[in-house]
Amino acid sequence: MRVLGIETSCDDTAAAVVIQRQGRLTVAANVVQSQLEVHAAYGGVVPELASRAHIRHVLPVVATALERAGLTLDALDGIAVTTGPGLVGALLVGVATAQGLAMARGLPLIGVHHMEGHLLSPFLVEPDFAFPCVALLVSGGHTLLVHARGFGDYHLLGQSLDDSVGEAFDKGARLLGLGYPGGPAIGALAVGGDPRAVPFPRVLLNRQACDFSFSGLKTALRTWLEKRENGGPTPSDVAASYQEALVTPLVIKALQACRLANTTRLVVAGGVGANRRLREKLQAEAEAAGIRVLFPPLEFCTDNGAMIALAGLRRLALGQQATAPLDARPRWSLAELAGPVRSL
Ligand code: KG4
Ligand code: ZN
């Protein structure tokens, strides 16, 4: 089974081909065209500019993915596309493209939930990883803890009540005068810094629950920067301290979610999953708690078409496909996905 996945929900235009042969998955091509240079000057994603850049890039990116996979459209068994959540104009570019290609070639089309794509991304490289598990999904738009009981059967255990952790990284980076996206910039500056240099609060809310709150930390950083005195902590210390305050609740709540869900399997996905400190700390603490934690490789952590192709492939294999024209769903909760589908 060969599926093309198209992803345009935010600021990356991505397409990939995933092939399943005798139960084995191969990512035959994975192409991402970043829009960093378009948005960098604004310190964040400008939705209208994102839509226009997707329009310019989407067909060349799809063509490159097919070429690298050594396939033509006619050799595909289906096309999967992110239908939400995300920026409406950006989503519409992917949806219209996928729909046009599928219609022109008479191919099955399937709409995919972006966060289900992130959740399934570890399966691209770890075929043995199995449900049930807990997923910590940490991106620019979301911070979710999900109990994935089976394929398509997702129960929300907790989420951020305000900013996502990716947003907290990005806003913090702006306050520190670093570039966009802020996550990698803070991560790089924090290397060698002292994470205890500035006592930013650890916002844990109710200890028993799995919710997060990150907006206060950005305010704490702003206040600290306004009051700082000469000769204090270095920029590297400040970045390391801020990063530690963001990462610590993620680690504590992810382990708490595993306890609540009674599982010893944890996957981490989404852009912030690329953060080195999060990987180190979670790996060490999960191991001590007897929990196996899996991070997809970096290329599958941030937005990519392979995760969308995989989610589409799984659904197509179960006989699901779009029966009416697809629409973009900018707001779409993962919990709204139709109930249990079948174990992977
Ligand atoms: O999943 P993603 O690529 O796109 C969305 O669906 O939002 O996540 C993007 C987010 C941005 O906020 C970015 O700053 C953050 O992921 N990010 C990181 C790192 N790499 C990307 N945050 C912390 N450390 C990183 N190394
Ligand atoms: Zn994402």
The per-residue pLDDT for 213 is 97
Predicted confidence (pLDDT) at residue 114 exceeds the cutoff of 50:
yes
pLDDT tens for residues 188-205?
A: 999 999 999 999 999 998
In this predicted model, what pLDDT tens digit does every residue of 197-237 receive, in sequence order? 999 999 998 888 999 999 999 999 999 999 998 888 999 99
Give 117 Cα–ligand 1 centroid separation in angstroms.
15
- pLDDT digits 0-9 by tens, 52-80: 999 999 999 999 999 999 999 999 999 99
Number of helices (H) and strands (E) in the chain: give both, helices first: 11, 10
Q: Do 159 and 211 meet the contact criterion of CB atoms below 8 Å apart? A: yes
Of the listed ligands, the closest to the CA of 138 is: 1
pLDDT in tens, 240-287: 999 999 999 999 999 999 999 999 999 999 999 999 999 999 999 999
pTM of the full structure: 0.95
11 ligand 1 Cβ < 6 A: no
Distances (CA, A) of 230 to 200, 226, 233: 19, 12, 9
3-class DSSP state of 24: strand
DSSP designation for 289: T
The residue whose CA has the least distance to atom 13 of ligand 1 is: 183
CB-ligand 1 contact for 187 (6 Å cutoff): yes
* Spacing, Cα 304 to ligand 2 middle (Å): 8
Answer yes or no: are the C-beta atoms of 7 and 35 closer than 8 Å.
no
Ligand with an atom nearest the CA of residue 274: 1
Does the C-beta of 272 come closer than 6 Å to ligand 1? yes
> What is the 331 CA–ligand 1 centroid distance (Å)?
19
- CA 28 to centroid of ligand 1, rounded, Å: 24
**What residue type is 157 in one-letter code?**
L
**CA of 185 relative to ligand 1 center, distance in Å:** 10
Question: What pLDDT sits at residue 343?
Answer: 39
Our answer on whether the CB atom of 117 is closer than 6 Å to any ligand 1 atom is no
